[in-house]
Structures are given as C-alpha cells and as structure tokens.
Amino acid sequence: MKMDELKGEWALVTGASAGIGREYALALARAGMNVVLVARRLDRLQALAATISETAGTKTLVIAQDLGVAGAAARVAEQVNAASISIRLLVNNAAFGRWGRFGDSEQAVYAAMLQTNVTSLTELCRAFMPALAKNAPSAVVNVASGAAYQPVPYMAAYAASKAFVLNFSQALHGEWRDQGILVQTLVPGPTDTEFDHHAGAYQSALQTRGPAEKVVADSMAALATGQPVALNARGTLKQRIFAALFPPRFVIEQVGKMFRPPA
Ligand SMILES: NC(=O)c1ccc[n+]([C@@H]2O[C@H](COP(=O)([O-])OP(=O)(O)OC[C@H]3O[C@@H](n4cnc5c(N)ncnc54)[C@H](OP(=O)(O)O)[C@@H]3O)[C@@H](O)[C@H]2O)c1
C-alpha cells in the first residue's frame, strides 16, 4: 500500500482517544488521510479532531461509542454510512486488559473486555471488509500483542483475546489478500500508554516501554511494504521460540511469575 495513494481517503481508528490509537490517527492525518475517530471519551476525541484540523488540515468524524456493548460495531458502521464515508483503512486498536487472578474482577469486566477486544473487532471487520474490497487496494490493521503468543496467568482473558486477534487477523489476510485487502496483525511491544493504568497493573516496568509513535511508524512501514505482520517488540522472536519449544508447564510457571500479584 502506498500512503501517497491514500491522501484524501478515509481511515477509521478505534481507541483514538489515547495511546497508540491517538498516535495512529495523528500519523494518518499527517499523511493526508481523513480519519473517523472512535472511542468512549468524547472530550478527548473532540480535542484530537481540533488538533488534526489545525495541524494536518484533514477532515475527521467523531464517534463516541463504547465498543464493550453488544451492537456497537453496527452503530459505528451506521454513522459512517450516514456520513457517506467510504473507508480505505480500518485500524482496530481499541482494547483493554485487567491484571489479577481470573475471577477477581466482576463478570461484567470480562464480558466488556471480550466484547471490545474480540467481538467488536470481528464485527467491524465484517461490517467494513466488503466495502474495503470494493475500494482496494485497502487495509485493515488489527492490534494484537506479545501476550498472544503464550498463556498469561493473571492476565488470562486479555492474553486469550489477543491470541484470537493474532490468529483471526492472519487467517483473514490469507482469505482477503486476493481481494486487494492487506490485513495486518500489529504486535506492539511494551508501550508507554494509559494501558497499565486502566488494567490495574500492580508492577511497573516489567520491561522498558517504547513510544507509541514507534509502534505506529513500524505498522505504517509494514503497510507500505505489504507485510501481514508488523512486529514492534525486539524480543518477540525469542518469546515465540520460548513458548513453542519449552514444555507448557514451564512456560506457564515462568510467565505466571512475571504477572503474579504481590503477596
Ligand atoms: N501499551 C502496551 O504496552 C501494549 C502492548 C501490546 C498491545 N497493546 C495493544 O495496543 C492497543 C492500544 O492500547 P494502548 O496501549 O494505546 O492503551 P490505552 O492508552 O489505554 O488506549 C486504549 C484505547 O482504547 C479505547 N477503548 C478501551 N476500551 C474501549 C471501549 N470499551 N470502547 C471504546 N474504546 C475503548 C480507549 O478509549 P476510551 O477509554 O476513551 O474509550 C483508548 O482510546 C490495544 O489493542 C492493546 O491491547 C498495547
């Protein structure tokens, strides 16, 4: 995909109010794209829309929508269609996690997590991919995580939701590339965002955290060269080898030690 060809076209970024999504929206606007901004915090989205208008001069559509509720993706698609917007790049970035033993949070938290991280992402792909095929060449970026490569005790549901994103997105690439859609699986490394704060992280700096701008730059570079997987973390290959070659009992124990709550 050549970013030059996307100038004046529309992208949709979920989770645009903070972190990687906000940086992605800004980078796409700087590259000349108009951007549909989706998240719950309307004030943040409106402020971002104003920044984009002032600094990049491209158009935005703000959609304040909780993706953690049933029917959210359909409501987003309705608003995009009502504005007669045709999407060329869909960035499914919104997600959240929760540290702690499974069951320590209310069931409503897990339901919203799976709805946001898995179901709404899937439904947004379903809603927009037929139009993306008509507008080809086009792309979908689904944001996974290094957590997807192995079970993560004390972040069990989040890691499993990202394993879904990883496998689902790569399979979609296999199905849709001949329709002109590049489906990229973006695997950020530990990144300095609001994620840990919202996840209730009880340890800081498991590893050093990189900037969200770098994650976005790596993703856009991979889009430009047609890569279906964009790895941002340096240690991802080592991590995959560890998870694939060592006995599951050992992997579970080692990863569990990293995420176990303090006594
Ligand atoms: N940070 C890391 O170290 C890291 C590492 C690997 C992967 N990732 C992935 O990167 C992506 C972005 O995370 P981040 O680090 O940028 O986190 P972040 O700073 O917490 O941003 C998360 C974004 O998702 C939105 N969001 C969360 N729940 C939502 C919901 N129910 N409905 C709509 N929007 C929702 C938030 O907006 P509102 O709160 O305004 O709704 C926010 O804009 C996620 O997919 C995450 O899993 C992050």
Q: How confident is the model at residue 232 (pLDDT cuts 50, 70, 90)?
A: confident
Q: What is the pLDDT of residue 207?
A: 66
What is the CB < 6 Å shell around ligand 1?
15-21, 39-41, 44, 66-68, 93-96, 112, 116, 143, 145, 188, 190-191, 193-195, 198
Name the residue among 63, 13, 47 with its Cα closest to residue 33.
13
Q: What percent of the chain has pLDDT over 70?
A: 98
The atom number, within ligand 1, closest to the CA of 14 reads 34
Written as one string, the DSSP assignment of 216-230 is HHHHHHHHHTT-SEE
Q: Could you tell me the distance, in angstroms and rounded to a whole number, from the CA of residue 249 to the centre of ligand 1?
A: 30
Name the residue among 100, 73, 97 with its Cα closest to residue 87.
73
CB 70 within 8 A of CB 45: no
Q: Could you tell me the distance, in angstroms and rounded to a whole number, from the CA of residue 96 to the centre of ligand 1?
A: 5
The atom number, within ligand 1, closest to the CA of 22 reads 43
* Terminal CA-CA length for the chain: 50
Q: Which H or E run includes 117?
A: none
Q: Which residue has the tokens 């917007």?
A: 85
Q: Whose CA is nearest to atom 31 of ligand 1?
A: 68
Instruction: Please give the Cα distance from 233 to 248 (Å, whole number).
Output: 23
Catalytically active residues are 158
Q: Could you tell me the distance, in angstroms and rounded to a whole number, from the CA of residue 246 to the centre of ligand 1?
A: 31
The 3 state secondary structure assigned to 89-117 is: EEEECCCCCCCCCCCCCCHHHHHHHHHHH
Name the residue among 56, 120, 124 with its Cα closest to residue 89.
124
Tell me what the pLDDT averaged over the chain comes to. 95
Task: Among 108-112, 159-163, 164-168, 189-193, name the one with the lowest average pLDDT.
Answer: 189-193
Instruction: Please give the Cα distance from 14 to 33 (Å, whole number).
Output: 15
The atom number, within ligand 1, closest to the CA of 67 reads 32
pLDDT digits (tens, 9 = 90+) for 38-71: 999 999 999 999 999 999 999 999 999 999 999 9
What CATH class has 3-259? alpha beta
Q: What is the pTM of this model?
A: 0.97
pLDDT digits (tens, 9 = 90+) for 173-222: 999 999 999 999 999 999 999 999 999 888 754 668 899 999 999 999 99
Q: Could you tell me the distance, in angstroms and rounded to a whole number, from the CA of residue 38 to the centre of ligand 1?
A: 11
Q: Whose CA is nearest to atom 20 of ligand 1?
A: 195
Q: Are strands 10-14 and 87-92 parallel, antiparallel or unpaired?
A: parallel
Token code pair at residue 102: 């499974």
The atom number, within ligand 1, closest to the CA of 209 reads 3
